[in-house]
C-alpha cells in the first residue's frame, strides 16, 4: 500500500474548518482575489488502497498511441501513392544502388514526410499552450479530469481518422483530429497527470521505483502494440486496428473514471481558463517553488539543472531511436526484417532489465548514483554502436543498453522531490512539454546529422549522442557531491 506524504496532509480539524467553498479557498491560499500562484501543501488524506493506480491508464493510452502512429504513416503513404499513381515497393534492396530511384517514389516519400511533420507540429503547438494550465489546474481540480479528458480527445481523433478512411476524404482532414486531440491535452497531458499522481501517492523512498514502473508501462505497451499493429494491418488493413485504437482510449478514460481514486482535494470553484495556471509554472521555475525555504538560489539552480539533464537524456533517446533501423538496413550490416525485429525486441527488453536493475541497486545506492550507472551503460553502448560493423557487435551494443532507462525515472523523481506537493501538476506539465520538445529536437537534429556525416564516419551521430550524455552525467555527479558535502556540514554543525 502506498500512502501520501504525511507531512503534506492537513490536520483533520483544519479540513473540518474548511467545509465551505470560501473557507477551503482560504486554506488553500488560492481564493478568487489571490494574485499569487497556488502554493498550497494540501493533500488528500485518502490514499490509494492498491499498488496499481494509474499504470493501466498509462499502458492503455501508450498502447493506443503506438498502435496508431505507424498505421497513420502507412495510410498516408498508401493514399498519397494512390493519388500520384505510384505502385512501386516501399523498400529497396540493400546495396542495390545501381537501380535509379523512381521519381514518383521520391515524391511520395517527400509528401508523406511533410504530412507527418504537419501533423506533429499541429499537435505540438496546441499541446504546448494547453498542457501547462491543465497540469497546474490539476493541482486544485484533481488529477482524474486530466486523465479522462485527454483520453476522450484521443478517442475523438481516432473517430476523425476512421471517418477519413471510411469516406476516403483528403488526408488533410487528419489535421482536424490532431487539433481536437491537442486541445484536450493529448498524450502529453496524460503523462503529466500520471507522474503527478504517482508523486501524490508515494513517499520519497518509493517514488523513484513507482516512476520507473510507469516508464516500464510505456515500453511494454509500445512493444506489444508494435507486434500487433504490423501483423493486423497486413491481414485486415487499417480500419479494424483503428477501431481498437478508439476502444482502447475509451477503456482508459473509463478506468480512470471508475477505479482511479482522487489524490488531491478539489477546490469547488477552481477555474480552468485562467492565467493563474501559467503563472504557477512561471513561479515554480523563477523562484524555485514554495518548497524553496532555505535553499535559495541553489535550490532553483538544481531545478533548472535537473530539467536540463532530462532534456538532454530524452533528446538522445528519441533521436538515436530513429537511427537504429537506418543504420542496420544499410551496408555493412544489411539486416533483414527478422534481425531488425530482434534488435527492436532487445531494445524494448531494456525496459524490464532497467526496472529490475533499479530495484536491485536501490538496496545499496542512492538515486543519483543509479542514474550515473544508467548513463554510463548508455554512453558505452552508443560508442559500440558507432563502430559496429558486424551483427555480433551490434547486439553487443544492445546488450550494454540493459540499464539505459534508469536515468529518466531518477531525474523525474529528483524534480518531484524539489517542489511542494501542491505544485506536482505544474511541474510535470512543464516536464511533459519539455519531453514533447525533445521529440522534435531529437528527431530533427539526429536525422539531419546522420546523412550529413555518412561520408567520413557512418556511426558519428552515435558518438555525438554519447558526448551529449556526458553533460547530464557531469551535472548529476556534481550535484550529488555537493549535496553530500552540505549534508556532512549540517551533521557536523548539529
Query: How do residues 204-237 score in pLDDT, each as one tens digit?
Result: 888 999 999 998 898 888 878 877 877 787 778 8
Distance of alpha carbon 261 from alpha carbon 46, whole angstroms: 8
What is the residue whose three cell numbers read 548513463?
375
Cα distance between residue 23 and residue 26, in whole Å: 5
Q: What percent of the chain has pLDDT over 70?
A: 82
Is the CB of residue 25 less than 8 Å from the CB of residue 224? no
| Mean pLDDT, residues 409-437 | 89
Containing 187, the helix (H) or strand (E) segment is helix 186-201
- Summarize the confidence of residues 405-429 as an average pLDDT: 90
Does residue 439 or residue 330 have the better pLDDT?
439
Integer Cα distance of 405 and 313 in angstroms: 10
Compute the distance between CA of residue 312 and CA of residue 315 in angstroms, rounded to an integer: 5
Taking the C-alpha atoms of residue 205 and residue 444, their distance in angstroms, rounded to an integer, is 37
- Average pLDDT of every residue of the chain: 81
- Angle of helix 186-201 relative to helix 144-167, nearest 10 degrees, comes to 160
For residue 6, the 8-state DSSP code is G
- Residue 194's pLDDT band, with cuts at 50, 70 and 90, is very high
What pLDDT sits at residue 24? 37
Nearest in space to 302 (alpha carbons), one of 487, 479, 112: 479
**Predicted pLDDT of residue 473:** 97
Q: What is the mean pLDDT of residues 354-373?
A: 92
- Of 1.10.10.10, 1.20.1250.20, 4.10.640.10, 3.40.1790.10, the CATH number of 49-88+106-261 is 1.20.1250.20
Q: How many CA atoms lie within 13 A of 170 on its CB side?
A: 5
Res 88: pLDDT: 60
Supply 223's cell numbers. Answer: 512493444
> Sign of the CA dihedral 106, 107, 113, 116?
negative
Mean pLDDT throughout 450-466? 89
Q: What is the dihedral of CA 118, 448, 225, 407, to 10 degrees?
A: -120
149 pLDDT higher than 70: yes
pLDDT at 296: 59
pLDDT (0 to 100) of residue 290? 67
Whether pLDDT at 35 is above 50: no
d(C-alpha 59, C-alpha 151), whole Å = 12
Least confident residue range of 95-109, 150-164, 227-241, 251-265 = 95-109
C-alpha cell at 152: 476522450
Q: Has residue 92 got a pLDDT over 80?
A: no
For residue 48, pLDDT beyond 80: no
pLDDT of residue 12: 37
Q: Report which of 149, 147, 152 is spatially closest to residue 214, judged by C-alpha positions.
A: 147
pLDDT > 50? residue 93: no
Rounded Cα distance, 286 and 304, in Å: 9
Q: How confident is the model at residue 13 (pLDDT cuts 50, 70, 90)?
A: very low
Residue 229 has a pLDDT of 78
Looking at the predicted structure, is the pLDDT value of residue 21 above 50? Answer: no
CA–CA separation, 332 and 195 (whole Å): 42
Give me the percent of the chain exceeding a pLDDT of 90. 36
Which has the closest alpha carbon to 218: 412, 383, 482?
A: 412
CA 6 to chain centre: 28
How far apart, in whole angstroms, are the C-alpha atoms of residue 241 and residue 229?
7
Is 37 a residue whose pLDDT tops 50?
no
The residue ranges of every structural domain in the chain are: 49-88+106-261, 290-494
pLDDT score of 2 more than 50: no
Q: Tell the burial category of 320 from Cβ atoms under 10 Å away from its Cβ (0-12, 13-18, 19+).
A: buried
Are 430 and 132 within 8 A, CB to CB? yes
Q: How far is Cα 425 from Cα 265, in angstroms, rounded to an integer?
A: 13
pLDDT band at 342 (very low <50, low <70, confident <90, very high): confident
Q: Does the structure show a pLDDT above 80 at 392?
A: yes
pLDDT at 483: 85
End-to-end C-alpha distance for the chain, whole angstroms = 35
Each residue's pLDDT tens digit, 283-302: 788 887 666 655 557 788 99
Q: Report the alpha-carbon distance of residue 204 to residue 183 in Å, rounded.
A: 33
**Better pLDDT: 38 or 458:** 458
Contact present, 177 and 152 (Cβ < 8 Å): no
- Looking at per-residue confidence, does 120 or 248 come out higher? 248
Which of residues 106 and 1 earns the better pLDDT score?
A: 106
Q: Within 10 Å of residue 421's Cβ, how many Cβ atoms? A: 23
**Non-local CB neighbours of 101 within 8 Å, separated by 6+ positions:** none
The fold for domain 290-494 equals Growth Hormone; Chain: A; (1.20.1250)
Q: Which residue has the higher pLDDT, 43 or 428?
A: 428
pTM, rounded to two decimals: 0.76
Amino acid at each position: 500500500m502506498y500512502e501520501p506524504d504525511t507531512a503534506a496532509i492537513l490536520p483533520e480539524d483544519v479540513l473540518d474548518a474548511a467545509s465551505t467553498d470560501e473557507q477551503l479557498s482560504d486554506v488553500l491560499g488560492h481564493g478568487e482575489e489571490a494574485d499569487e500562484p497556488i502554493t498550497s501543501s494540501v493533500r488528500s488524506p485518502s490514499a490509494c488502497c492498491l499498488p496499481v493506480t494509474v499504470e493501466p491508464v498509462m499502458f492503455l493510452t501508450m498502447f493506443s498511441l503506438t498502435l496508431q502512429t505507424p498505421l497513420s504513416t502507412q495510410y498516408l503513404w498508401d493514399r498519397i501513392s494512390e493519388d500520384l499513381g505510384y505502385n512501386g515497393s516501399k523498400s529497396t534492396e540493400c546495396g542495390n544502388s545501381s537501380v535509379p530511384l523512381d521519381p514518383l517514389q521520391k515524391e511520395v516519400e517527400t509528401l508523406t514526410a511533410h504530412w507527418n511533420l504537419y501533423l506533429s507540429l499541429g499537435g505540438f503547438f496546441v499541446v504546448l499552450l494547453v498542457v501547462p494550465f491543465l497540469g497546474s489546474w490539476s493541482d486544485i481540480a484533481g488529477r482524474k479530469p486530466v486523465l479522462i479528458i485527454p483520453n476522450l480527445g484521443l478517442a475523438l481523433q481516432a473517430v476523425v481518422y476512421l471517418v477519413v478512411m471510411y469516406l476516403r476524404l483528403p488526408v488533410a482532414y487528419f489535421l482536424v483530429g490532431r487539433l481536437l486531440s491537442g486541445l484536450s491535452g493529448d498524450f502529453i497531458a496524460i503523462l503529466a497527470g500520471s507522474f503527478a499522481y504517482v508523486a501524490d501517492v508515494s513517499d520519497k523512498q518509493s517514488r523513484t521505483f513507482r516512476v520507473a514502473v510507469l516508464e516500464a508501462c510505456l515500453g511494454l505497451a509500445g512493444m506489444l502494440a508494435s507486434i500487433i499493429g504490423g501483423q493486423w494491418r497486413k491481414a485486415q488493413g487499417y480500419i479494424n486496428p483503428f477501431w481498437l485504437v478508439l476502444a482502447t482510449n475509451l477503456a482508459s478514460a473509463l478506468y480512470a473514471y471508475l477505479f482511479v481514486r482522487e489524490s488531491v482535494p478539489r477546490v469547488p470553484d477552481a477555474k480552468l481558463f485562467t492565467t493563474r495556471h501559467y503563472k504557477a509554472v512561471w513561479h515554480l521555475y523563477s523562484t524555485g517553488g514554495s518548497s524553496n525555504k532555505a535553499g535559495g538560489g541553489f535550490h532553483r539552480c538544481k531545478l533548472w539543472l535537473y530539467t536540463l539533464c532530462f532534456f538532454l537524456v530524452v533528446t538522445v533517446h528519441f533521436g538515436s531511436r530513429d537511427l537504429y533501423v537506418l543504420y542496420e538496413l544499410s551496408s555493412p550490416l544489411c539486416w533483414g526484417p527478422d534481425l531488425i525485429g530482434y534488435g527492436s525486441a532487445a531494445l524494448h527488453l531494456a525496459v524490464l532489465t532497467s526496472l529490475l536493475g533499479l530495484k536491485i541497486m536501490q538496496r545499496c545506492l542512492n538515486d543519483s548514483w543509479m542514474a550515473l550507472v544508467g548513463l554510463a551503460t548508455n554512453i558505452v553502448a552508443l560508442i559500440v554502436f558507432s563502430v559496429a560493423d558486424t551483427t555480433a557487435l551490434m547486439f553487443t551494443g544492445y546488450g550494454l543498453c540493459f540499464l539505459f532507462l534508469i536515468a529518466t525515472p531518477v531525474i523525474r523523481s529528483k524534480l518531484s522531490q524539489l517542489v511542494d506537493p501542491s505544485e506536482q501538476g505544474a511541474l510535470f506539465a512543464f516536464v511533459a512539454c519539455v519531453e514533447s520538445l525533445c521529440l522534435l529536437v531529437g528527431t530533427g537534429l539526429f536525422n539531419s546529422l546522420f546523412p550529413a556525416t555518412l561520408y567520413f564516419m557512418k556511426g558519428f551521430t552515435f558518438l555525438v549522442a554519447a558526448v551529449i550524455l556526458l553533460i547530464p552525467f557531469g551535472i548529476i555527479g556534481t550535484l550529488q557531491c555537493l549535496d553530500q558535502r552540505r549534508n556532512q556540514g549540517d551533521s557536523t554543525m548539529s
